[in-house]
Amino acid sequence: MEPSTDTLASQIDPQKVPRHVAVIMDGNGRWAKKKGNSRIFGHKNGVEAVRQTVEAAAELGVRYLTLYAFSTENWNRPALEVSALMSLLMEAIGQEMDKLMRNQIRLLTIGDTEALPDNVRSKLRAAIEKTSANQGMRLVLALSYSARWELAQAARAIALKASQGLLDPERVDQRTVEEHLATAGMPDPELMIRTSGERRVSNFLLWQLAYAELAFVDKLWPDFRKEDFHAALLDYQGRERRFGLTSEQLEKKA
Ligand code: IPE
Ligand code: IPE
Ligand code: MG
């Protein structure tokens, strides 16, 4: 018998919950295709998985949850799919506002949001503003995001400051880069989950995932539920994160 959600959740050590979990929500199209339906139907059914993931993360005390919702490369999908995704995003934000407020969740975005349609941008801006004083979990939507876009814009910003004499090029270090990323001020994700069985990073948080634990889940995104999030966390807690050290060194430090 499958262990129930409660059994899994109760095994999670509250002291070792990652501060930041990042998720590549993948497999909506395949989920729909298996049911003989359109890809858009898959995206619609992915919304429940988003709700469950947000709830599960907030309940466990995760501080930052970053969801990869739309990549730079996804702009090249069929126009109808892109516009359906934008509409769904608008709809979901509208529907979830009350819940975000009730649960003190603060909405943020990373990505080239200038590229989003005006109506989506203004809806997002309003939601970000409305939740800006919330003290609970940060829900970070990666929208029109890619890590290479992010790194290129960081390089541009740093170069510009250097050319204006605001920054000494000799002193550019890892911290300078971090401060110019879209995720400036956020801790790096300790855990990255990707659904749908694909084992790749697809241009997601390339800098920030340097030492993340990766969890690949075979389920397609619309089937992802709270208990799957719990299972990924439990798996994460069972791993030894060495950061280049030896096990013996880690034991000494503990
Ligand atoms: C993830 O599902 C959602 C987005 C990328 C927007 P996909 O649409 O990539 O679904 P598959 O991977 O084709 O099944
Ligand atoms: C990654 O999924 C992007 C999002 C989940 C938003 P994709 O489906 O676009 O990635 P690939 O094409 O499988 O690498
Ligand atoms: Mg995909």
Per-residue pLDDT tens listing for the chain (254 residues): 555 557 899 999 999 999 999 999 999 999 999 999 999 999 999 999 999 999 999 999 999 999 999 999 999 999 999 999 999 999 999 999 999 999 999 999 999 999 999 999 999 999 999 999 999 999 999 999 999 999 999 999 999 999 999 999 999 999 999 999 999 999 999 999 999 999 999 999 999 999 999 999 999 999 999 999 999 999 999 999 999 999 999 999 88
CB 142 within 8 A of CB 65: no
Question: Is 134 tagged catalytic?
Answer: no
CATH number for the domain running over 22-238: 3.40.1180.10
- 66 Cβ below 6 A of ligand 1: no
| CA distance linking residue 80 with residue 140, whole number of Å | 25
Ligand closest to Cα of 221 equals: 1
The alpha carbon of 24 and the centre of ligand 2 are apart by a number of angstroms equal to 7
Q: Please choose from 28, 143, 199 the residue to mutate so as to test ligand 1's pocket, defined by most ligand atoms within 8 A of CB.
A: 28
Ligand closest to Cα of 202 equals: 2
Element housing 244 (H / E)? none
- Give the type of residue at 127: A
Please tell me the predicted confidence (pLDDT) of residue 5. Answer: 54
| CA distance linking residue 27 with residue 125, whole number of Å | 28
The residue whose two tokens read 């909405």 is 107
Q: Would the pTM count as exceeding 0.95?
A: yes
Structure tokens at 29: 């199209």
Q: Single out the catalytic residue among 13, 37, 74, 188.
A: 74
- Any idea where the domains of the chain sit in the sequence? 22-238
| CA distance linking residue 108 with residue 141, whole number of Å | 6
